[in-house]
């Protein structure tokens, strides 16, 4: 029972955080608005004081609310100016995402180079097919994370070295960062995704040309660009 309570409490707190985040985003709770008191929130959402306090702590860590001594909790006047608000879970994911990208830069830049001189015609086709599938999904506004992952997996398999593939499999869908950040506008923005597709094409072209150095550089540029985007979120 104690274990169930421990699992249930974070879910309740996160649900409360999401409700307030949405109200802040849509203007229902404008900057400077006062939040209900803890007892009011307990009664309104039928949760314990511990759940309320955990939710408020997450909202504070996200910079969405600010305490005013003796007056209560207020929506922050200085909300993030990015045009979007990351959820607390997304904020917590940033350090792990940066570490994962750092590792991928080390592994996948070399994998692209190896694939460029080892790939078979069938393996080259698999890389091309994955990129074409991603293009189709972008054009239909469908999710692209699986196709993006398939592209990178196809390159690792084209190395004909299972250790490259095993390393990437360790991350699975987590290796495509935007899948972990659904709040980011770029997660579904067609122009951004077409830019990713173009970067993929440069990698594919280098592998097709059997040019290891160009493949290595194209993959490095692709992953470092992603790393820079998520570093900006950490500021």
pLDDT tens, 38-83? Answer: 999 999 988 898 888 888 877 776 677 888 878 888 888 765 544 5
**CA–CA separation, 175 vs 230, rounded Å?**
13
Do residues 168 and 219 touch, judged by C-beta distance below 8 A? Answer: no
At 213, is the pLDDT very low, low, confident or very high (cuts 50, 70, 90)?
Answer: very high
- Choose between 206 and 13: higher pLDDT: 206
Mean pLDDT of 156-174: 94
What pLDDT is stored for residue 1 in this prediction? 37
Average the pLDDT over 200-204 and give the result: 95
Residue 168 has pLDDT above 80, yes or no: yes
Supply the mean pLDDT for the chain: 84
- Retrieve residue 217's tokens: 């550089």
User: What is the CATH number assigned to the segment(s) 88-233?
Assistant: 1.20.120.530
pLDDT in the model for residue 4: 36
The closest of 150, 149, 171, 168 to 111, measured between CA atoms, is 168
2-75 carries CATH number 3.30.750.24: no
Q: Are 155 and 112 in contact (CB under 8 A)?
A: yes
More confident residue, 206 or 88: 206
Domains of the chain, residue spans: 2-75, 88-233
Q: Which band of pLDDT confidence, cut at 50, 70 and 90, is reported for residue 85? A: low
* Interatomic CA distance for residues 63 and 77, integer angstroms: 10
Q: Which two tokens stand for residue 102?
A: 């750092």
Residue tagged 């992952």 (tokens): 149
User: What is the sign, positive or negative, of the torsion defined by CA atoms of 221, 222, 228, 231?
Assistant: negative
């Amino acid at each position: 029972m104690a274990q169930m309570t421990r699992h249930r409490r974070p879910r309740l707190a996160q649900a409360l955080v999401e409700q307030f985040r949405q109200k802040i985003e849509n203007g229902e709770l404008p900057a400077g608005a006062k939040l209900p008191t803890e007892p009011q929130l307990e009664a309104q959402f039928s949760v314990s004081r511990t759940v309320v306090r955990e939710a408020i702590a997450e909202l504070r860590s996200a910079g969405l609310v600010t305490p005013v001594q003796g007056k209560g909790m207020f929506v922050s006047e200085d909300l993030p100016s990015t045009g979007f608000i990351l959820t607390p879970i997304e904020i917590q994911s940033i350090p792990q995402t940066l570490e994962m990208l750092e590792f991928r830069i080390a592994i996948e830049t070399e994998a692209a180079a190896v694939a460029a001189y080892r790939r078979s015609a069938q393996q080259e086709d698999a890389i091309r097919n994955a990129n074409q599938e991603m293009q189709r999904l972008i054009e239909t506004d469908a999710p692209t994370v699986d196709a993006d992952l398939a592209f990178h997996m196809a390159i690792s398999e084209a190395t004909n070295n299972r250790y490259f593939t095993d390393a990437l499999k360790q991350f699975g869908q987590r290796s495509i960062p935007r899948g972990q950040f659904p709040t980011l506008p770029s997660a579904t923005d067609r122009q951004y995704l077409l830019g990713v597709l173009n970067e993929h094409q440069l990698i594919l072209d280098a592998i097709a040309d059997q040019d290891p150095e160009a493949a290595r550089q194209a993959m490095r540029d692709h992953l470092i660009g992603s790393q820079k985007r998520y570093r900006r979120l950490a500021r």
